[in-house]
Chains A and B, each alone.
Chain A
Amino acid sequence: MTEIAETKGQHSRTERPGAQAPPRTSTTARQAHAAFYLAGRRGDALPPGAVGGLCPALMARHRRLAELRHDYPLILVDQRDAETCVISLSGWFDAILVAVATGEDADRIRHHGLRLEREIRARTAPGTSASLSQLWSAAERSLCEAGDASLADSLSRLRAKWEIDGLVIACDGDAPRRFLEHVWQLVQRRRLARLRARIDRLTHGLAEILRADEAGSAAALQPDRLRSSVGSAFAAEIDCDALARLLAVARPVCSLSAARRERVRGLLEALASQRFCGTHESRGGCDVAPAHEFVFHSCSAATYAYRERFPAMLELAKALAMAELEVDGRYREETHGRLFAAWTSADADPEAFESFPEYLVCGDAERMSDVDSVHCLEAIASDLPIKVLVQANDLFEPAGHGAALPARLLASSALAAGSAFVMESTSSELYRARDRVLRGLGVRGPSLFVVYSGADGPVHSGLPAYLAAAAALESRAFPAFCYDPSAGATWAERFSLEGNPQPERDWPVRELTWEDEAVQRVADGVAFTIADFLACDSRYAAHTALATGEAAGDIVPVAELVAAAGSLPEQLPYVLAVDTEDTLHRVLVDGRLIRLARRGLSQWRSLQELGGIHNSHAERQLALRQKAWDEERARLQALPRAEATAPETAAPATAPRSAGAGAAAPAAQPAAAVDPDAARIETPRCSTCNECTRINDRMFKYNENKQAYIADADAGTFAQLVQAAESCQVAIIHPGKPRNPAEPGLPELLERAAKFA
């Protein structure tokens, strides 16, 4: 007989890799644990902690990133709309392959196309800079060296569908800046095109006024001018001398006043000399007044430039307003003359500046001084047309004593301004957040983008920048959020936590699968915390230790410990990490990492409240209403049945009965009243099929009989409740009414939920 049950398996925690029966922890070991947890000191009971080459367990599968298709590299497409100016290399290849890989050759073309994509991806190393056309040509040359005719045919057919070009960027320390600059330039170009068109139209109109005036002057009616006007084709038929004599008598007497002529000339000069957008000539290289520079490296420089240029901007706005009146023939000296003579910024219509260029500031958080931070917040709190990118490259600098989160503090602080667009994200999320980036660049007024690049990943944790950025987002070390004041009047409309994994949880929980010592597949839900993010950072190696020997006994996952209070825990906290040999380890972490994790969790919970998740005010109100409702229901139930009818339910009893012990089924008994608005499950009818628990295992849990019940209706969304009800094989889940009135798509969800009322 083969014994399958080789491990005890009393609890999921004991099934973790390397787990043996928990040994009794001796007093000495407890003291060693306390010394390690409190002071990071290791005695003999704990092994050395300098563990290199470790990777967070949940990231291990993606460690060889170059072999995986993911968002990066990105193509910064030239000459495109801002909405489609950034595309993913993989997405672009997919689109081409759908168009080209058809018919009998489909598989071959797809195969070759993906080879080409892989080759381009391999050539797009961090820090390099090349266009798509260059990379394509180099990759194509390399692949076709062997003289494979079918490959060459496939690539030529793919090339025929190739319509775009642009810089290809990898996920590295420059990616956020390049990404934002590229999108900003296209938004700026669109804005300046409107200004340029207006200036051109007015310039043409003003020039026409002068030309018409000049055409009626005596000088324009001289025979030579008339002859040159007529041209050589009709020189023999027209007597220009006679015509000049005739016109000298018959020409109209009206002409522009000297003042108007001077005014129009002045306006033309003002429009020609402006430096806010380049002229058509400047593109040909013969312009004398190049446009201003609008990209800066500090907010102070940008605001200084704005204020320095403001008088010129005001003059241009005034010239545009006057020119509009002149061209339309509506300018009245007696009315408009006085107005424009006393023209100030207060007279300018805010919309007059709509099409004026905006300022972009790109800076690194690590290089920002305290003064820079203050200038940045001042700029964000002002009404200046300024877009600020603060790029964070290192989130947890140990020298900062655990408090070095300037970038995240910056974004959170900027929220207080209330009127500025604020977005926080990571470079791994940037491509999926491009709509939000575009919205932030499109609004008039200040915008702040704080982006973690992950550039410190390869240096400190050995992770590629993309994975380091993804880990920061996943671990809540650098959560994503977006505040858009133009989206509506309330926080529910303005603030979004979109982009964060499992935003309703403290930490995202993913399923981790591994092979245990008995070569059996084991799977478990693993929370990804800030401690997971930091445990693999070489600078924090002194705060970690591998859990081996006796140290593998009384330990607890970090997520459990962080949730509990207390300074010195009974059990040492650990995270799961994988070494270069793909072996799973439990890595003990000390109190410092736990403190960082707790601080990060506290900040994340604040964001959750802003985003309407577990909002304490709302929950308090809900509890009060629930209490009042319960009291009212109890009062009604206490009345005689004739006076009040309490709702009844058909919830079956749970107690099992012994076989053969009962008689015929008795009549149905009245059951306890239930809240028709509350979500519920007919637990005794649950067939343990795992449908609902897989949708949300915090909302749905199994009881002692392995039958599902709703453990926490607030642990998920109404959409999940409806989805669970629809998935339930035995249709015993009743979603009730939504608990969050701001949840998106409620009308449709309520319609779907009605079937399960």
Chain B
Amino acid sequence: MSERAIMSGSAMAGSAMDCLLRIHDERHEIEDFQKGVPRWCTGCGDNAVLAAVQRLCRDEGLRPEKTVFVSGIGCSSRLPHYMNTYGFHGIHGRALPVAEGIRMARPDLHVFVNTGDGDCCSIGAGHWIHAIRYNMKMVVMLHDNQIYGLTKKQASPTSPRGLKSNTSPRGSYLEALQPLTVTLGVQNVSFVAQAADWIPELLYDIVRAAFHHDGFAFIRIVQRCPEWLPKHLDPWLHDPQKVQLLHHENGLSISPALAQVYKNRLEHDPSDIHRAREIASTGDPIPVGILYHDPDVPRYEDIRRGAALRTTELIQRGLEAEFDKFAIASRGDGGSRD
């Protein structure tokens, strides 16, 4: 095979790639990331999370074929069905290991994980701890409505003490597990934030900050369940003083309009993990913002990157190399056919 023949083959492939790139460079609207009609109850906080991630995909110019949403089991875990991207609706508690596998095999994909308080903090708690420690790049959204909604109102690990449910008719006996303090207590933690679904502006900002974090970005989203706990979060919903917004020059900034409504604000440096743990341990007022951010924690995929990356670009390059073995050189170019 002559050198020229190889060049010719590459040129053909290049023109095809140009075409593909031109398609991919087209701007996507929010509708391009929508799929189906959500089956969530009307008023469910999951809708706000869905809207936030769809906005993010549009604003960040993500390509649908380069984005994947992974989930486990629960109401929140239906979210991948409504994203017109790749999706993996996995098994209960195993959203994080699946996402880690994707991350290892396809580092070119943007990985998002949607998990619920049961999926993450109960059956998937072991995976959760180790996923924090592995610090692989992904955005993990914990939809914490403090109840099992899909199975119609059973107590979850984050249900507050005294909450009556079908499995705790006399009220939950134990103190609730605090996802923020647990996460902040694990080695290699690199990004922890808390959002509330009824403040969509901050929810979006936090998801975007998490997306830009180069590691395991964990967001606990305090979320309403209008069906099974319809009044549970009303005090926080209707009294802005019971929500404390965290802001800092290295964290989030609060818009003037939002500042008019939410006057309870706290300046917090996200690099201070001890202060972050103190804030995380307060349940009332609810802190909303970035609690902790350390961009220098090493990522597992950088330490143990696989030998062969299975990205589409590498596969295409390999295929072209195989095809070139059978390419025919042009007449008169000094190739072997002459």
Contacts and interface: CB of A to CB of B under 8 A. Distances in A.
Contacts of B59: 656
Given A686-B200, A688-B48, A690-B42, 8 more contacts: A9-B35, A10-B31, A652-B201, A659-B205, A661-B253, A706-B30, A706-B51, A727-B43
A668 B256 CA distance: 5
A687 B45 contact: yes
Interface class of chain A by DSSP? loop
Interface string B208-246: 110010000000000010100000000001100000010
Contacts of A520: 36
Interface in B180-197: 197
A4 B86 contact: yes
B258 A652 contact: yes
Interface stretch (B6-14, B160-168, B259-267, B279-287): B259-267
B95 interface: no
A249 interface: no
A707 B200 contact: yes
Interface in B26-62: 29-32, 34-38, 42-45, 47-48, 50-51, 54-55, 59
B255 A671 contact: no
Contacts of B209: 659-660
Interface stretch (B77-85, B114-122, B124-132): B77-85
B43 A689 contact: yes
Interface in A359-404: none
A-B complex: 9 closest residue pairs judged by Cβ atoms: A662-B253, A652-B257, A659-B209, A665-B254, A688-B51, A4-B87, A665-B259, A706-B51, A687-B48
B257 A687 contact: no
B96 interface: no
Interface string A1-42: 111110111110000000000000000000000000000000
26 contacts: A5-B64, A652-B256, A652-B260, A659-B205, A659-B206, A659-B251, A659-B252, A660-B253, A664-B253, A664-B267, A665-B254, A667-B256, A668-B256, A668-B257, A668-B260, A685-B200, A687-B48, A687-B197, A687-B200, A688-B50, A689-B48, A694-B42, A705-B51, A706-B30, A706-B51, A707-B51
A729 B197 CA distance: 11
Interface in B53-110: 54-55, 59, 64, 68, 80-81, 83-89, 102
B141 interface: no
A130 interface: no
B193 to A, nearest CB: 10
Given A652-B261, A705-B55, A729-B226, A665 B253 contact: yes
Interface in A660-704: 660-669, 671, 684-691, 694, 704
Contacts of B148: none
B198 A687 contact: yes
B204 interface: yes
B198 A730 contact: yes
Nearest to A1: B88
Contacts of A10: 31-32
B49 to A, nearest CB: 9
B86 A706 contact: no
Interface string A701-729: 00011110000000000000000000101
Given A652-B201, A659-B208, A664-B247, A5 B253 contact: no
A653 B255 contact: yes
Contacts of A658: 208
A754 interface: no
Contact of A666 (B31, B35, B256): B256
Nearest to A521: B36
Contacts of B267: 664
A522 B37 contact: yes
Interface centre among B102, B208, B256 (most CB of A within 10 A): B256
Interface residues of B, number: 65
A689 B250 CA distance: 31
Interface in A711-757: 727, 729-731
Contacts of B200: 684-688, 707
B113 interface: no
B328 to A, nearest CB: 33
A682 to B, nearest CB: 9
A691 B42 contact: yes
Nearest to A511: B37
Given A5-B83, A689-B43, A689-B44, A706 B206 contact: no
B199 interface: yes
Contacts of B32: 9-10
B97 to A, nearest CB: 14
A650 B261 contact: yes
Nearest to B233: A729
A685 B42 CA distance: 17
B136 interface: no
Interface size, A (range): 35 or more
B290 interface: yes
A665 B47 contact: no
Given A9-B84, A729-B43, A1 B255 contact: no
A3 B257 contact: no
A521 B86 CA distance: 18
A520 B35 CA distance: 11
Contacts of B51: 687-688, 705-707
Interface in A447-503: none
A727 B226 CA distance: 11
A660 B34 contact: no
Given A660-B249, A689-B43, A705-B51, A666 B257 contact: no
Nearest to A523: B37
B183 to A, nearest CB: 19
B89 A657 contact: no
Contact of A665 (B36, B42, B50, B258): B258
Contacts of B89: 2, 4
Contact of A656 (B197, B205, B265): B205
Contacts of B84: 5, 8-9
Contact of A704 (B30, B37, B38, B68): B30
A685 B86 contact: no
A5 B33 CA distance: 10
A541 interface: no
Nearest to B252: A659
Contacts of A1: 68, 86, 88, 102
Contacts of A667: 256, 259
A300 to B, nearest CB: 57
A91 to B, nearest CB: 30
A522 B237 CA distance: 33
Contacts of B54: 706
A729 B254 CA distance: 22
B91 to A, nearest CB: 12
A651 interface: yes
Nearest to A693: B42
Contacts of A7: 35
Contact of B290 (A4, A657, A659): A659
Contacts of B80: 4
A8 B50 CA distance: 18
Contacts of B35: 4-5, 7, 9
A411 to B, nearest CB: 39
B30 A663 contact: no
B257 to A, nearest CB: 3
Contacts of A685: 198-201, 261
Interface centre among A684, A729, A730 (most CB of B within 10 A): A729
Nearest to A692: B42
A664 B259 CA distance: 10
Nearest to B90: A2
Nearest to A8: B84
B256 A669 contact: yes
A688 B47 contact: yes
B86 A657 contact: no
Contacts of A691: 42-43
Contacts of B87: 2-5
Nearest to A4: B87
A465 to B, nearest CB: 34
